[in-house]
Amino acid sequence: MENDLPKLEKILGVVFTNKEHLLSAVTHRSYLNEHREAVHEHNERLEFLGDAVLELAVTDYLFRKYAEKPEGELTAVRAALVNTTSLSEAAQKLGINDFMLMSKGEAKDTGRARQYILANAFEAVIGAIYLDQGYEAAAKFIGNQLFQKTDRIVEKRLWQDPKSRFQELSQEKVSITPSYELISQTGPDHDRVFNIGIYLKDEKVAEGQGRSKQEAEQNAAEAALAVKQWE
C-alpha cells in the first residue's frame, strides 16, 4: 500500500509531509485485526477529527453563500451535503475504494455497508489533511469535492426528506396528497422488516422496505420520486 500512496496523493491533490496520516486514513479497523504486524492506526480517530473539520467548512460556506436563509434551512442543506450517500459518492468519484485496506470479509461487503466505509474514509482523509497541512488545505479539499453539489440540492429542494419532497411535488403536480399503506411485515420482533406502499388515490406508485415503518415510508417516497421522474 505504501507504494500506492503517491498515486493517491496525486488524486487528492495533496502531498503529505507525514505519509502515515494518509495510510491511516484508508485503513479500516478490520485490516489491523488480520495484519498484526501493521504499526499504523486505523482511521476511526481521523474520521472523528475530519467530521468536525467538515462540519465547520460546510457551515462557513453555506453561511456566507446563503445570507438570506434561516438557520433551520441551512442545517437541512448541510445535512444533505454531508450525509452518507453524498460522502460515499465523493469518495467513489476519487477512487478511494481502490486504496482501502480492509479485512477480506469487509472487502466483500457492498451496498449500504460499503457506503458507510467509504463515507467514513472520506472524513478520515479530511482529518488527515487537516492534521498534516492545516485547516485551509482541508477546507480547500472539501470545497473542491462537495461544494458544486450545493446549487442542485437547493434548487431541487433535496434538503427535504423524500416524504416531504414527494408530498410537496404530488400536491403541486397532480393536486393529490399521497398516502401510505402497510403491505407486509416479516421477521421476528427484534428484527422486523416492514414493506409499505405509497399511493396517489388508488394508484400504487412504489413500495419501500425498512426496519421501521418510518424508514420504509421514506424509502417508498424515494422510490416514488424515481418512478414519477420528479427529481
Q: Are 176 and 200 in contact (CB under 8 A)?
A: yes
> Residue 51: its pLDDT value, please?
96
pLDDT tens profile 119-149: 999 999 999 999 999 999 999 999 999 999 9
Top CATH class of 162-228 equals: alpha beta
Give the per-residue pLDDT at 1. Answer: 55
Residue 231 has pLDDT above 70, yes or no: no
On whether 47 is known to bind a ligand per the annotation, the reply is yes
Which segments of 26-111 does DSSP mark as H helices, in order?
29-34, 44-65, 71-81, 84-94, 104-107
Please check the confidence at residue 158 and state whether its pLDDT lies above 90. no
Task: Name the pTM for this structure.
Answer: 0.73
Choice among 123, 132, 217, 222 that is catalytic = 123
Q: Which residue has the cell 437541512?
A: 76
Rounded average pLDDT over 174-183: 96
217 catalytic residue (yes or no): no
* CA 8, chain centre distance (Å): 21
Q: Does 120 appear as a known binding residue?
A: yes
From CA 91, how far away is CA 123, in angstroms rounded? 9
Residue 74 pLDDT > 80: yes
Does 162-228 match 2-155 at the fold level?
A: no
Pick the CATH number of 2-155 from 1.10.1520.10, 3.40.109.10, 3.40.190.10, 1.10.3720.10: 1.10.1520.10
For residue 157, pLDDT beyond 80 = no
Domain ranges of the chain: 2-155, 162-228
Is residue 37 annotated as a catalytic residue, yes or no? no
Quote the mean pLDDT of the chain.
Answer: 90
